[in-house]
Amino acid sequence: MSQSPLPVVRPVAELRGKVRAWRAAGERIGFVPTMGALHEGHLSLVQLARQHAQRVVVSIFVNPTQFAPHEDFDAYPRGEARDAELLAAAGCDLLFAPTVAEMYPSGFATTVTVGGVTEPLDGAARPGHFAGVATVVSKLLNQCGPDVAVFGEKDYQQLQVIRRLVRDLDLPVEIVGAPTARAPDGLALSSRNAYLTPAERKIAPSLARTLGAACAGLRAGARVSDVEAEAVAALTAAGFRRVDYVEVRTAEDLSRLGPGPITSPARILAAAFLGKTRLIDNFAV
C-alpha cells in the first residue's frame, strides 16, 4: 500500500498554525531538525521522537551559516521528494522545509554564540560552525515550539552545545540524545558518507574500530595521551589523509582531561579526512 504524501509547510506561520492545533487537542510535539539527505540514522531519530510525543515534526534546512566558505554547502546532497517519502514511512506528521529567505530575511543580524563547549574540537577546526548551528537551532526551536527535540549523538559536540544553549536561554524544550546508527561494519551513518569513493568506503570503518580500541585501552587503564597518539597513528596508517583531532574529553562539557588514566565519565571524539570527505565519530568511555 502506498504511503499518503507527507504534508510540507515552508512559511513559519503555517508551521505554527499546525502545531497550535495539535497542542489545542492536547498532543505533545516532537521535533527532529535535519539538513535532509536522510538515512537510517535520521529515521531512528524520528522513531525516538515518536516515543516521546504524539506528533513529530521534521525540518529540512541546509543551513548556509554553519558552512565555512570553503566547505561543501553547494555540494551538500539534497533530495526533498525522497526524504519526504522516507519520513512519511517513519511516522513523521509534518515536514517543515523553509526557504533561505524565510529563515534569513533581508536585514537578519542576530547570531547566537555559546561559549565553552563550542571552543575545542570541531569549534577549533571549523571556526563559526557552532554559531551557525546555535543560531539556526534557536530559530527552529522557537518556530516549532516542541515539547521535545531529538539530536543524534553522532554529532556529540553539537548535542552538548544545544543542551548548553537550551539551559542557558531557558528554552522550554527537553533535549533527547539518540544513539549513533551504524552500518554493519561499524561506520557511523552520515549524509557525507555519500561522498566516499568505493576504496575510501572500505577504509572508513577503521575510524570506529580505532576509537573502539582506544576505549578498550582507556577502560583497561591506559594513559589518555598514549591512547590519543596511538589512535592518530592508526588512522594515518589506515589511509586517512589528515586527522583534525582524536581527543578524550570530559563527557559533559568536553573540557580537557589530564594525560593519565581517566577517572570520570569521558568521551573520545575524532575527526579525520578520507580524501576530501571529513568524517567524525565518538564513543562514550
Binding region for ligand PAF (CB under 6 A): 33-35, 63, 66, 133, 136-137, 155, 158
Instruction: Please say if 70 is a catalytic residue.
Output: no
8 A C-beta contact, residue 49 and residue 32 = yes
- Give min distance, CB of 108 to ligand PAF, in A: 15
Among residues 75 and 229, whose Cβ is nearest to ligand PAF? 75
Q: Which is nearer to ligand PAF, 86 or 231 (CB)?
A: 86
Q: Phi/psi of residue 8, each to 5°?
A: -120, 130
Report CA torsion sign: 84, 87, 93, 95: negative
Give whichever of 125 and 238 is closer to ligand PAF, judged by the CB atom.
125
The CB-of-66 to ligand PAF minimum distance in angstroms stands at: 6
Q: Can you say how many angstroms the Cα of residue 140 is from the centroid of all Cα atoms in its chain?
A: 15
Q: How far apart are CA 142 and CA 103, in angstroms?
A: 12
Nearer to ligand PAF, 83 or 228 (CB): 83
List, as one string, the DSSP characters of 44-58: HHHHHHHHH-SEEEE
Least distance in Å: CB of 256 to ligand PAF? 24
Nearest to 63 by CA among 129, 141, 154: 129
User: Interhelix angle for 80-90 vs 40-52, to 10°?
Assistant: 40
Q: Which of 39, 42, 70, 129 is catalytic?
A: 42
Q: Which residues are catalytic?
A: 42
